[in-house]
Chain A
Amino acid sequence: MSANGFTKEEVIDALHDIASEMHNRMTKGEPPRMTLPVRTKQNIAFDRKLGVYKYGKKKSTRDATSLGSARQLLRALHVTEFIEEMIDAGKSSTLREMYYISEGWGHGKFGSQNESNNLAEDLEIITKCMREDFKLRPEEDGARIIGNITFEERNRKGEWMRINCRDDVGDSGYGVPYNVEAEKLRLVDHDIEFIMAIETGGMFDRLVENGFDEDAKCALIHLKGQPARSTRRIIKRMNEEWNLPVLVFLDGDPWSYRIYASIAYGAIKTAHISEYLATPSAVYLGIRSGDIEAYDLPSDDLSSKDIQALKAELSDPRFSDSEWQDEINLMLEIGKKAEQQSLAKYGLDFVTDTYLPEKLRELGFTRL
């Protein structure tokens, strides 16, 4: 059983439907094709029922009238065959392994790993299965967690191991596995008030060293840049199952806004499974563009790429509310960006003694 509750047979049938569409078209004398939603910001819309952003109604057709598209169809068929074989043999592979295995697929081989990752996502979207159903694992690096929470993780021997993320781990914290579904990970217990997700390793280590998790009674999660699916999923589970607030502490630049959006609203690339990954109640703590001036933080001028990114965000439906529009416009106006670690200007403890407590009090956390 998987997250969506598909059986092996259902997964294979769903994949066969793709091959069947192609075959039927050819039998009718038409070029084979595959239909899937457009995967750009122009085609994501807020789903009121789920509270996250999902793909809209725009479909794109990939048909065999150009060489590139025809190759994609052939690759999809090879991937289908490969997944069937893995399901039959009870194996799994990483996306990267699949990329290398495709070397043997002749004209169906992938040109880059990005292509194979994208195709795996395409198949998820069309079949409504998840890649775990396909026995495909990501290469991506899961997050690390420090704080007084207790998980049970099923280890390689199939035994459940109990781990407290404060007492049973070293300085680097608990490493989040790629599969954080109930069959692999159980949320046992906690004694915290909120979860804080942090963009950079440097800031994560600073807060750990300063004992912020204990002082503020929180769990710290290092996102490692754009967070992996499992990172977003475990945040979502803790938020839902333990009813804990999620605060996001990032750099103050256009790219951080996108990290926040992927945590809170859903990422464009994975909008088909936003309801599993996104935490709509997550709060963007900082660095806010207003902080750069308010705290007089050391900052860099926005590059032309930054400006381009900000302008793109202005037309991204996920940033359409007025608060975000103001935030982005303010950054454009002051023309500056600042890193989390620029807070060190006022000393190593400034972030834990002054900045975060002030921010938390604004949100109603009064412990500090």
Chain B
Amino acid sequence: MVDAEKIASKQKQISISEFFEKNKHFLGFDTPQRAIITAVKEAVDNSLDACEETRILPEIKVEINRVAGDSLELICQDNGPGIPRDSIENVFGKFLLGSRFHAIRQTRGQQGIGITGVVMYSQLTTGSKTSVVSKIESDSTAVYVDLGLDTRKNKATKSGERRDTWFENGEEINHGLKIRTVMKAKYQRGRRSVHQYLRMTSIVNPHATIKLIVRDKEGEIIEQGNWIRTTDRLPRVVKEIKPHPHGIQLGQLQRMLKEADERKLTSFLRHNFSGVSQRAAREILITSGLEESRTPARVKTDEAQSIITAFQMVKLLAPPTDCLSPIEEMLIKKGLSKAIDSRFASTVTRLPTVSQGNPFQIEVGLVFGGDLQADGPIEVLRFANRVPLMYQQGGCLLTKALESVNWKQYGLDHPGGKGLPKGPAAVLIHLASTNVQFTSEAKEAVADNEEVYEEIRKAMLEVGRGLRNHLKKSSQRKKAQEKFDLINIILPEISKKTSQLLGREEPDLSPVITKIMNAVFLEDEISWNKENKTTVCSITIYNYTARARAYTILAKWPEADGIFITDNPRGGRKETTGLWNWRLDTLDPGQSAEIRFSVSGLSKGDWTEADIFFRGNGEIIGATRIDEKLLDEMRKMDALAAAEAEHSESTGSSIEHLAERISESVEEIHREPSTSSEIIDVPEKEIFEPAPNTDWFGMEGGSE
């Protein structure tokens, strides 16, 4: 209950209901087809946000029924916290952009005009009221109320309010919200449909269960969807942060100065901005020529402007990035796999970074093969703060960044290197940010931003490399399989048949096999052990050469907190994070050896493709020679991360301070003279531009 009231009280109202009536085309209600998608979007976004804040695993049901000729009835129900009676009017009756508008934090809702728009559109097009049932846990009964809107006064009109116990299918509802509204709208199937919107939503909200039922006038179901949650892990609670000086404009600064309670400018700067230390606050004031003791409310316009200028000149800490809620690689993979049947998935969650004072983070997932259509452009799934973007694909920064990558290099058809690549693939791009900049009010295309663009490109290169490795591996595997078929099946048959035809003895084939293969082969397989819930990786190396071989075999594994190697009879040792090695001292001609290890802490399907590397003389078909230089870089990154972890433990400081120190330590490491206007990035994995025929770990192993 406390939660629900807290959310409601935070919301501040803005009077723009008349604005809506004039500008509904901006707001997603321009066509009857789009209106229903927008309405579902507003309702579902609210439900997901509310559930997330109150740590409830969302169950959302969307029902759409065609009523009269061009009207649809929309019913949305969730199991969220519900809305307290006294706040219902505010939530549904005014344009409330609430906490989203004044605080800086990643939420879904910042992209919509809110559920009020739905109430208003319904009233404008059909004259009907929106019925709301709301139940909060601390009340004994639910509130039933019908809402209309006085658009001129920006006020809700309530009618038929009553309290009752809420039953659905014979079960009492303890907390939740249900709205029912009728509006002029058309249900459309296909790429731009409610179904696609919810499918996309379910991909980036793997913790949510979403159901959709669409019925025609006769009550027949014409489309439905049931996306069940694939994880019980809710997105982490995002912190609200104070604005960062690099993202501040004059008007906003003046407003903040006016409303400030602080008596001195130094404390004003330290308390109201993120990334400003005592030292930095003093420097800002020195640079702008203002005295520390000045009262913020009395700062004049030209003085405020000089502060703005100083913001860009003084070295500042990056804003904290724990205000962002990435989906995270594993969950993207799960989300994608629940919606799309594919053979291969590669996902990347980049470390958060900052653009103009706004923290943001890029995530990319690529799926390939399986049921995906092989001809035509790939499917692009764009998301901003977990909200699907369905329109204006071409004009969107996310698409532009995707198109800028040379996909041919990664195994996709990319005619002329322009436009979308072609092939059986789908790419998900998620931009999480406290302030997503769109090209227009319609909020369907992300506006150009160099830092965001570069981050997306880097993420694309990573998944692209994953795809290339996968394709290379598939073709290597196919070739190896052919060789095995040749020596194990065809050759013995040739031997048998010739001997039969000629009435001679069968020859000894082992020297023939060595002649034919003349290589070391490696086969790997990842399987799921149901009994002890471990993922088993098995690697077999065959020596089909005429001399003994010795190798070190290295395998990548998804090392992380709570994920361990449990069974590893050959022992070996850790090479670096996520990379284990085993020595094979002698592998005689004609012999094979197996390495097998189990990993616990993963779910089925989390880890499906092994990356195997080797060190030693002579090539191995099916494995890649490890690049020692890259390995060194990885070890350095490891050491750096370890040093930082230790540092923070010893002082036990807050996250904001940690960010400060990370920035400093990065400075120390890089020893680069940086200009004061630069934003300091948190350390990130370095990106290595792929050289032709070079792997993440280096040179291609199999010569074939």
Contact = CB atoms under 8 A, between A and B. Distances in A.
Contacts of B498: 19-20, 22-23, 26, 32, 77
A29 interface: yes
B126 to A, nearest CB: 61
Contacts of A31: 512, 515-516
A107 B485 CA distance: 10
A107 B496 CA distance: 13
Contacts of A64: 486, 490-491, 494, 512, 516
A65 B514 CA distance: 11
A16 interface: yes
Interface string A83-107: 0100000000000000000000011
Contact of B501 (A70, A81, A108): A81
A77 B501 contact: yes
B497 to A, nearest CB: 4
Contacts of A66: 482, 486
A67 B482 contact: yes
Contact of B494 (A22, A65, A81): A22
A77 B494 contact: yes
A187 interface: no
Interface in B493-510: 493-495, 497-502, 504, 507-509
A74 interface: yes
A310 B588 CA distance: 57
Contacts of A20: 498, 502
A27 interface: yes
B483 interface: yes
Contacts of A27: 507
B515 to A, nearest CB: 6
A71 B487 CA distance: 11
Given A29-B515, A71-B490, A16 B507 contact: no
Nearest to B504: A23
Contacts of A84: 501
Contact of A26 (B485, B486, B489, B512): B512
A19 B507 CA distance: 13
A107 B482 CA distance: 13
Task: Give the interface size bracket for A toward B.
Answer: 20 to 34
Contacts of B504: 23
A72 B653 CA distance: 72
A231 interface: no
Given A22-B498, A64-B516, A77-B498, A70 B509 contact: no
Nearest to A22: B498
Interface in A17-55: 19-20, 22-23, 26-27, 29-32
A74 B489 CA distance: 11
A23 B512 contact: no
A73 interface: yes
A73 B486 contact: no
B479 to A, nearest CB: 9
A19 B497 contact: yes
Given A19-B501, A81-B501, A107 B489 contact: yes
Nearest to B503: A16
A222 B637 CA distance: 79
Contacts of A16: 501-502
Contacts of B509: 26
B497 A74 contact: yes
Contact of B502 (A23, A70, A73, A78): A23
A23 to B, nearest CB: 4
A26 B513 CA distance: 10
A67 B483 contact: yes
Query: Residue among B491, B493, B504 with the most chain A CB within 10 A?
Result: B493
B510 to A, nearest CB: 8
Nearest to B485: A67
A28 to B, nearest CB: 8
B497 A78 contact: yes
A340 interface: no
A66 B487 CA distance: 10
A70 B486 contact: yes
B502 A19 contact: yes
- Complex A-B, nearest 5 residue pairs according to Cβ-Cβ distance, in ascending order: A29-B511, A77-B497, A26-B507, A23-B498, A67-B482
27 contacts: A16-B502, A19-B497, A22-B494, A23-B499, A23-B504, A23-B507, A26-B498, A26-B507, A27-B507, A29-B511, A29-B512, A32-B491, A64-B494, A64-B512, A64-B516, A65-B516, A67-B485, A70-B486, A70-B491, A70-B494, A74-B490, A74-B497, A77-B494, A78-B497, A81-B497, A108-B493, A108-B497
Given A16-B502, A23-B507, A32-B498, 17 more contacts: A19-B498, A20-B498, A22-B494, A23-B498, A26-B495, A29-B508, A32-B512, A64-B491, A64-B512, A67-B486, A70-B490, A74-B490, A74-B494, A74-B497, A77-B501, A80-B501, A81-B500
Interface of B: 482-483, 485-486, 489-491, 493-495, 497-502, 504, 507-509, 511-512, 515-516
